[in-house]
Structure 1
Amino acid sequence: MGGGNMLYIQLGIMAVVVYFFMIRPQQKRAKNEKEFESNLKVGDKIVTKSGFHGKVSEITENSTAIIIETMAGKLKIERSAISLEMSAALNKKA
């Protein structure tokens, strides 16, 4: 009878460990990514997840897509396709 209770305690501890080491960091990362996407503004230098470097030239009306200016022209991409803002990264080093 005592062994059954111990099993439930161990399962509970495992659930807490999984939450703090897997679920919570993923939620925090998603929150930071969403905040990053919402703070983009015209003139920011960015890098997309596919490797394109460019500068934000326009934010569309519905705010789900942006237009970036590259050396080859202008591209319309989704906000979720942006991986890094170069303006902030360059300012941190200085």
Structure 2
Amino acid sequence: MEGLGGLLLPLLFLVVLYLLLIRPQQKRQKEHQKKVADLQVGDDVVTIGGLHGRITALTDDTMDLLVTDDVILRYQRSALARVVNDDTADT
């Protein structure tokens, strides 16, 4: 019976670790993958580097961003930080 008590504490620690660290990270990763999959031409986005631009073209792995007039940069889709809507734009 004493051996079961010694196993209970590490098991409890693993459950808490899963609930506090692993599960939320998996949820954030799924949300990011959904955002990347839902991108459309014309969306205003911000990259993880802080670059603001409008999507002009999409492929399976890349997105072309119009930064200023006649300046188009190609980024990996995974570099997306967020999609900026007119409703949620920062002032």
Report the TM-score, using the length of structure 1 for normalisation. 0.86
The AA in structure 2 aligned to 1:69 is L
Q: CA deviation at 1:91?
A: 2.0
Aligned length in residues: 88
Alignment of 1:5-16 (within 5 A): 5-16=4-15
The AA in structure 1 aligned to 2:45 is I
Q: 1:76 to 1:32 in 2, by over 3 A?
A: same
SS at match of 2:9: helix
Runs (5+) with no aligned partner, structure 2: none
The AA in structure 1 aligned to 2:17 is V
> CA deviation digits over 1:14-70, x for unaligned, max 9?
11000110111111111000000000000000111111110000112xx11010101
Runs (5+) with no aligned partner, structure 1: none
Of residues 73, 76, 79, the one that matches 2:74 is 76
Q: CA deviation at 1:84?
A: 1.1
The AA in structure 2 aligned to 1:79 is R
> For the aligned residues, what is the CA RMSD?
1.5
Considering fraction of residues, name the structure with more helix: 1
Question: Distance between the aligned counterparts of 1:69 and 1:92, measured in 2?
Answer: 20
- Runs of 4+, deviation exceeding 4 Å: none
Question: Distance between the aligned counterparts of 1:53 and 1:42, measured in 2?
Answer: 14
Report the TM-score, using the length of structure 2 for normalisation. 0.89
